[in-house]
Structure 1
């Protein structure tokens, strides 16, 4: 099961890169719009995160509180991206919240042991 977990982790990191890279790229250009990279990144993050939460390891699973926190944040990001994807311009605060929540989700993954 370790190879499957590593593949899911790799895909999860790619989703993070798509989401954050797409968002920062849009923000730097001054055009705050949800692009397809952000949508795909949010979907990949959510799906692979659920796969990574499955008990695939031998007693080394993350705590349920950590998993629940990451799931809530990932769902918030997905909802914010999905329902704003057709707008020509997204409110700057809304857009910065997507970037901030993405970074907070990564921080939870790294620092919560």
Structure 2
């Protein structure tokens, strides 16, 4: 059962890597656009995070304050991605700089909480 949980943790980390990697690629290429692949990473992180929030295997202790904070940040990230994509689709130009930087900041903050808390 522990191996299964470790596999879900790996999938969760992969979701972060997809989101942050897509954001960093957009930054490095100076496109600074919100992309659909960032959405894919968000959904992978959300689905695997909800599975990890269940107390399994038996005897595992969870920090529900940490989990709640990470969920709020993930929801804010989803909202930011949604607004950014809507603005891009509506105007045909890249998302406003504040939205683009918020995506990277929220994604990085969520990872930092996971590692440092």
Judge same fold: TM > 0.5, yes or no.
yes
Q: CA deviation at 1:27?
A: 1.3
Q: List gaps (5 residues or longer) in structure 1.
A: none
Figure out how many residues of one structure are paired with residues of the other and give that number.
Answer: 112
State the TM-score, normalized to the length of structure 2.
0.87
Pairwise CA RMSD of aligned residues?
1.4
Match of 1:94 in 2: 99
Q: Which moved more, 1:35-44 or 1:52-61?
A: 52-61
Would you say the 8 A contact 1:34–1:84 is kept in 2? yes
Structure 2: which 5+ runs fail to align?
none
Instruction: Indicate the SS of the match to 1:33.
Output: coil
Q: How far apart, CA to CA, are the structure 1 residues paired with 2:83 and 2:100?
A: 12
Runs in 1 of length 4+ with deviation above 6 angstroms? Answer: none
* TM-score normalized by the length of structure 1: 0.90
State the Cα distance separating 1:93 from its structure 2 match. Answer: 1.4
